[in-house]
Structure 1
Amino acid sequence: MTERTDVRAALLGGKTFRSLSEQKLSPKEEKFERARQTLGFFLAPAAAITFAILPMTMDRTQQLLAAVLLGVIVLWICEPVPIPVGGLLGVAAVVILGVAPAADVLAPFGSTTIFTFIGAFILAQAMLKHGIAQRLAFAVLSLPGVATSTYRVIIAFGVITCLLSAFVSNTATVAMLMPTALGILAVIGQLMQDRGSVSADFDPLRLRVGAALMLMLAYGASVGGLLTPVGSPPNLIGRGLIEEATGERISFAQWTAAAAPLCLAMFVVLALVMFLLNRPEVRRIEGVEEYIREQRTAHGRMSRAEVNTLIAFGFTVSLWLLPAAAGLVTGTDSDIYVLLDDRLDEGIVAVLGASLLFILPTNWKERRATLNWSDAARIDWGTIILFGTGIIFGSLLAATGLAETIGTAASRNLNVTNVVAVTAFSAVLAVLISETTSNTASAAVVVPIVIPLCTAMGLDPFVPALAATFAASFGFMLPVSTPQNAIVYGSGAVPIIRMIRTGLVFDVAGALLIIGIVPVMVAITGIGR
């Protein structure tokens, strides 16, 4: 075995790459996490009970709902129990305390967005199982000239991650591409050793180019996840809450049209920030093209399962976009557009496309399909539950009048008097919460606050709520901010100080882009109108 292969094998082995479930934290981080969880066990019930028994002038039902919601928010931030469980505890408390009947409380679990989640997650599971991401990555990296420059390799990985994350879980995308990125980093490290740029015993994981490559994976996934409604759980949660509050439907095509300029601008800023703060030690590289050729040869021709997965994926996306295409050709007042828009519900299309994976065979003689139910059972059911609980609290806020009460109080006490100020407040608040808890929980917390605030001030809540939804996918500073951050931190290639510094700059830049671009794109595309 050659020395280069030894280095590559070491990087790809379990010594350096750990999955999220195996994530190792430093002693200080472990201490902080234990303290945060312990605090949540006691603070959540204490905050809820205290608020419930305080003498207040608000309606008793509103006060009980606010007390439960306060306790749930503490559970989501401190995570003494899994985040979906915190939401379920809140739903149970709402019913037991008599805030609303169980049938009314649980109705949002029948939302079409729940089915969109399920279908999209099953499609993503098939892409994960059959290695679609790795094949796409090697196809892009094999383009002429890409693999000869560290800058172009890092940009290419960012593009691949963004495109995949628009349809596949951000976490799954990073996990799928991590081995490929580490293999390329091994080749770069060996090249630098051969050139004498570093000592023979130098650890390739300490290179700035490695940090840039890993951070591009993590941050690129968050950026790409904004592009479509199914790209990230906060998107579906925010869209559901906005549609519930405004009564306006946001189609797949409308969302994508509004988000595309923001994603493009954020990717450009991401590349600039990445190279300014993590400038690669070497620009020209050799050996990566050979490694990519070896890997493409090992993958061979596309399997039947891969082809079937792409057929199901293409079928689903085509039906998602078909109503918008019909509207462009025949107009939104035509009978064909109205029919397609009514019948091709996104949730139904998602589960229909996912169902194809259980029909399209990989071996007809053995009746073996592209996906089996044990594969589908591994999807992120926790996020689906969390989405349902978020919608439940959003609808209860409106039904009990608590939303209007919160909005009226906030408009009196906060110095925000116009839609621009509320949009900025919403984006900054979502980013701050995303740094300390999951982006999904951030959307479930912030959007229900923003909507009543706008209503009380007589403002259209659409732009601020959409800005909060986008900003909820941020959280670039800490390993605990997003699962993809934790994965790349677990590779050992990203020092915590480098992640904090890079993430802080991108947090600020991204918030500014959201505040500046979202109102413009909403006006141009007419989304939500």
Structure 2
Amino acid sequence: MAAENQGDRTDVDKALLGHATYRSLGEQRLSPAEERFEKGRRTIGLFLAPLITVVFLALPIEIPPQQQTLAGVLLGVIVLWVTEAVPIPIGGLLGVAVVVFLGVAPADEVLAAFGSSTIFTFIGAFILAQAMLKHGVARRFAFRILTLPRVGRSTTGVILAFGAITCGLSAFVSNTATVAMLLPTALGILGVIAKVMQHRGVVAPDFDPLRVRVGAAIMLMLAYGASVGGLLTPVGSPPNLIGRGLIEEATGERISFGQWMVMAIPICLLMFIALAVVLLRLNKPEIRRIEGVADYLEQQRADMGPLSRAEKNTLVAFGVTVTLWIVPGVVAVIAGNDSEIYTTVSDRLDEGMVAVFGAALLYLLPTDWENREFTLRWRDAAEIDWGTIVLFGTGIIFGSLLADSGLAETIGTSVADTLGLTSVVAITVFAVLLAIVVSETTSNTASAAVVVPIVIPVAVAAGVNPFVPALAATFAASFGFMLPVSTPQNAVVYGSGAVPITTMIRSGVAFDIVGALLIIIFLPVMISVVGLGAG
């Protein structure tokens, strides 16, 4: 079988070859109906956003003018985010400019959020992730897991291994980058499995290798596993940092790196188990035992050779950063959150400064000292996701303005009275459902920026500590599994051609429901276990 795999390209290879690279949603071969929908959605947004803003500003509403102006602009920004009429970060920046133009607050006051420590946590984490991708550390980790004993001998083992890999990598590397990096490997393995199915006569000779259940299961495990893994750490997904920043601003309580991981690991483990059950039940692989995949993986791993100097440097920088992120949590366990030593250590080892320090190490650790070559060059940093950083800053700005202007309290009182939300359970359920619905129609980053500032004042107006509902909304913002537009990683796997839209919708709905239940039930428990949200 291994010899056959290395021979001339078959029809299966040719069918898969054109799908082995990452393509964004805009670069995919969309059907005519999908193209019309995307074009219409953006066109509507261009006209609807300013219209909604102007109409809202003209309404005779009995709230202070400053609040009405902010609400009108924010509504327009939300329309831009949901319809993606302009790139999502640009929509936020446009709104910030208009807020200043209309006199809601001075420019210096509005832009102060861009000095947030969390902005630098983003920057440092993204640069570290860039090094892991550039030098192949992430890919090496993936093949190490895939070549574990017995993993490559069954379709179930391969599917679960891809889930474990994406979960692990997405805790520190961009979800989208993780999936895009693993996609060619997944398609290569799918090609081997397709050949096995042909030889066994499981499928017709003229079958489409991109339309088999095992392929859909692998691809959906990549996309959904990345979203689950992104919840493991504060830097795993942009919504985590956005939600955490807004919660700290509203409650004065900061979730440390270690506290977040202790809280998230049990929930993510349950989510992973649920994800595996959902995907394997709804997309049951046509065959169980496979030959040839293990040989393919071993060959791929052998081709990588030993660790390079750049890979070793990247691991050193990554290890130092994560260690320094965790140290304050260890001190808190030993000395207590109220101790003077914990306060000193947590202040000195600020997560943003640690992230910047770790990123700087990549420009200090040499790969060729004689020629003064270092692990990264500046152009590598220029390629990180600056759009997400800008979006985070604008999200924090609007959150601050909502609180400072009193609009947050007005919204919270109105929603709480209208829906009759008076308990932490009811508000948490509302927060989770709202975040999932919004994340299905726009990016999870924009979902967190929209939903968390709404949930916090609703809880405050009801006399409930907003910590649990806001954090539940933050977790749920990463749940958007039904459509290619729900998350970038959904778009990546949909672009491979291996996942029919009906399969994505069916699997996504099932996991949305299961994920919502897990967040509602277990997140409050883990928050209590960690000792957070007691204020």
Question: Under a length normalisation based on structure 1, what TM-score does the superposition of the two structures give?
Answer: 0.98
Match of 1:19 among 7, 16, 23: 23
> 1:326 offset after TM fit, Å?
1.8
Mapped partners of 2:90, 2:45: distance in 1: 13
> 1:16 offset after TM fit, Å?
5.4
> 1:13 offset after TM fit, Å?
2.7
Mapped partners of 2:447, 2:19: distance in 1: 33
Matched, 1:261 2:262: no
Mapped partners of 1:332, 1:422: distance in 2: 28
Contact 1:16 / 1:492 at 8 angstroms: preserved in 2? no
Measured against aligned partners, the alpha-carbon deviations of 1:144-195 in whole angstroms (never above 9, x if no partner) come to 1111111011001100100100010000000111111111111111111122
> 1:17 offset after TM fit, Å?
4.1
Match of 1:270 among 272, 275, 293: 275
Letter in 2 for 1:515: I
Matched, 1:405 2:402: no
Contact 2:171 / 2:232 at 8 angstroms: preserved in 1? yes
> 1:327 offset after TM fit, Å?
2.1
The aligned counterpart of 1:298 is: 303
Mapped partners of 1:513, 1:192: distance in 2: 36
Mapped partners of 1:458, 1:199: distance in 2: 63
The aligned counterpart of 2:531 is: 526
Contact 1:16 / 1:490 at 8 angstroms: preserved in 2? no
Match of 1:507 among 483, 506, 512: 512
Measured against aligned partners, the alpha-carbon deviations of 1:426-481 in whole angstroms (never above 9, x if no partner) come to 00000000000000000000000000011111100000000000000011010111
SS at match of 1:306: helix
> 1:136 offset after TM fit, Å?
1.0
SS at match of 1:205: coil
SS at match of 2:210: helix
SS at match of 1:362: strand
Mapped partners of 2:130, 2:533: distance in 1: 31
The aligned counterpart of 1:453 is: 458
Structure 2 gaps of 5+ residues are none
SS at match of 2:367: strand
Matched, 1:4 2:5: yes
Matched, 1:100 2:91: no
Superposed, 1:118-517 pairs within 5 Å as: 118-517=123-522
> 1:2 offset after TM fit, Å?
6.7
> 1:9 offset after TM fit, Å?
4.7
Percent of paired sites with the same residue: 67
Deviating more after overlay: 232-241 vs 517-526: 517-526
The aligned counterpart of 1:85 is: 90
SS at match of 1:440: helix
Contact 2:19 / 2:497 at 8 angstroms: preserved in 1? no
Superposed, 1:67-78 pairs within 5 Å as: 67-78=72-83
Mapped partners of 1:486, 1:193: distance in 2: 29
> 1:523 offset after TM fit, Å?
1.1
Deviating more after overlay: 206-215 vs 412-421: 412-421
Contact 1:161 / 1:217 at 8 angstroms: preserved in 2? yes
Deviating more after overlay: 407-416 vs 450-459: 407-416
Contact 1:237 / 1:387 at 8 angstroms: preserved in 2? yes
Mapped partners of 1:10, 1:310: distance in 2: 37
Q: Structure 1's 417 and 13: CA in aligned 2 closer, same or farther, altered over 3 A?
A: same
Measured against aligned partners, the alpha-carbon deviations of 1:53-97 in whole angstroms (never above 9, x if no partner) come to 111110000000001001101111111100111101110011000
SS at match of 1:477: coil
Superposed, 1:51-66 pairs within 5 Å as: 51-66=56-71
Letter in 1 for 2:447: S
Mapped partners of 2:438, 2:509: distance in 1: 14
Letter in 2 for 1:4: N
> 1:25 offset after TM fit, Å?
1.7
> 1:231 offset after TM fit, Å?
0.2
> 1:415 offset after TM fit, Å?
2.6
The aligned counterpart of 1:42 is: 47
Contact 1:250 / 1:528 at 8 angstroms: preserved in 2? no
Mapped partners of 2:532, 2:261: distance in 1: 10
Q: Structure 1's 311 and 126: CA in aligned 2 closer, same or farther, altered over 3 A?
A: same
Give the number of equivalent residue pairs.
529
Mapped partners of 1:414, 1:179: distance in 2: 48
Letter in 2 for 1:326: V
SS at match of 1:283: coil
Letter in 2 for 1:19: R
Question: Under a length normalisation based on structure 2, what TM-score does the superposition of the two structures give?
Answer: 0.97
Contact 1:11 / 1:17 at 8 angstroms: preserved in 2? no
Contact 1:133 / 1:177 at 8 angstroms: preserved in 2? no
Contact 2:20 / 2:187 at 8 angstroms: preserved in 1? no
SS at match of 1:452: helix
Measured against aligned partners, the alpha-carbon deviations of 1:485-519 in whole angstroms (never above 9, x if no partner) come to 01101111111100000001001111111111111
Mapped partners of 1:484, 1:216: distance in 2: 11
Structure 1 gaps of 5+ residues are none
Mapped partners of 1:53, 1:379: distance in 2: 41
Mapped partners of 1:10, 1:328: distance in 2: 56
The aligned counterpart of 1:112 is: 117
Contact 1:150 / 1:285 at 8 angstroms: preserved in 2? yes
Mapped partners of 2:312, 2:277: distance in 1: 36
Letter in 2 for 1:362: T
> 1:335 offset after TM fit, Å?
3.9
SS at match of 2:490: helix
Contact 1:44 / 1:74 at 8 angstroms: preserved in 2? yes
Mapped partners of 2:15, 2:268: distance in 1: 31
> 1:329 offset after TM fit, Å?
2.5
> 1:18 offset after TM fit, Å?
4.0
Mapped partners of 2:21, 2:282: distance in 1: 24
> 1:199 offset after TM fit, Å?
3.1
